[in-house]
């Protein structure tokens, strides 16, 4: 598993965000996208403090599947309740995580 799995799961959820944006006819919110990106950065900084522990949990297929299902459910609900905010937040978060994966891959 590892970065390739992370990339695949991130892209899967990002495609769902794109589809939800289209179906909900939502307008992007720069503020929500920035907050999502900052949330990802904060999470990764905190997770880095206990990298081995976080990674050991994340490598479990049940945790990965549950995370994707939870993200997709959040996107579906968000697309109905507050599409611009929720979908923009998710987009910003996922794009930041993709950037993080690129930086980590290049650094190694």
Specify the pLDDT at position 108: 80
Tens-place pLDDT, residues 7-16 = 999 999 999 9
Report the domain count for the chain. 1
Encoding tokens for residue 24?
């909900």
Q: What residues make up the domain containing 16?
A: 3-107
Quote the DSSP letter at residue 51.
Answer: H
Contacts of 63 (CB under 8 A, 6+ apart): 57
Could you read off the pLDDT of 14-57 as tens digits, one per residue?
999 999 999 999 999 999 999 999 999 999 999 999 999 999 99
Closest CA to 42 of 106, 97, 83: 97
């Amino acid at each position: 598993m590892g970065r390739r799995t992370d990339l695949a799961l991130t892209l899967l959820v990002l495609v769902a965000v794109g589809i939800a944006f289209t179906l909900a006819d939502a307008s992007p919110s720069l503020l929500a996208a920035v907050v999502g990106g900052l949330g990802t950065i904060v999470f990764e900084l905190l997770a880095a403090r206990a990298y081995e522990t976080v990674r050991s949990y994340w490598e479990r297929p049940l945790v990965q599947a549950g995370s994707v299902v939870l993200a997709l459910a959040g996107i579906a609900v968000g697309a109905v309740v507050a599409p611009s905010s929720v979908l923009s937040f998710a987009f910003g978060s996922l794009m930041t995580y993709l950037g993080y994966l690129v930086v980590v891959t290049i650094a190694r």
